[in-house]
Amino acid sequence: METSSEAMVGVVTERPSRMGMVRLCAAALLPGGDRSGRGAGGPGVRHSAGQRQALLGLAGAEVVAAFLLSSVLPPVLRTAHGVLEGAVILGFAGAAAALRRAGHHVVGDRLVLRTGLYGEVSVPRGAVGSVGAALRSVPGRGPRPVPGDPAAVACSAEETVNVAVRLRRPVRLDLGEAGVVMAQTLYAGADSVPEFRAAVMAEGR
């Protein structure tokens, strides 16, 4: 059981470096690449469906473009072009897989809001008061302050968020260069708000 002081402190994981993102994308394409960070019940509540679809669409378009361009390139350039195009296609597919596999989840007594490639926020589950729909736009990606609301933090892979987690009392979140926020509301994205709410507000909490 957490003490009152611990219950008021959250953990912010900053976005990884570019090489860190590359490693996440590569791991997400491997069998079992979603095991790291999973909750006990599986991969968690998924998010960023629109961004995942866009990335897969770009990967598909790149495949078509690669074949068309390869047909007009001199044979000496085709191998290098194929390697480059393969890396681009795998990059798009890996980013989509990383988003799909990094779902929000509850781990023990912590609620973890994940973004796949842009960092995450973890708060004590006991600090959560309610969960509801709240459609709005918050510039940026990953853990970040909410303009015009000094007591709110957003954590999403897209600018659009659709779920709000209201806290029973403020939770301290250190956002690095953006400063420290005593958060009373957390905004995130979820493919299914009811599924997210059910996971967070499960009976027996």
Helices (H) and strands (E) in the chain, counts: 5, 9
pLDDT tens per residue, range 22-60: 888 888 888 765 554 444 445 689 998 888 889 899 999
Tokens 């679809």 belong to 53
DSSP annotation string for 59-88: HHHHHHHHHHHHTTS-HHHHHHHHHHHHHH
In this predicted model, which residue has the larger pLDDT, 121 or 26?
Answer: 121
The pairing of beta strand 180-188 with beta strand 149-156:
parallel
Measured in degrees and rounded to the nearest 5, phi and psi for residue 93 equal -65, -40
- Bridge partners, 152 (sequence order): 185
HSE of 148 in the Cβ direction (CA atoms, 13 Å)? 4
pLDDT tens per residue, range 130-160: 999 999 999 999 999 999 999 999 999 999 9
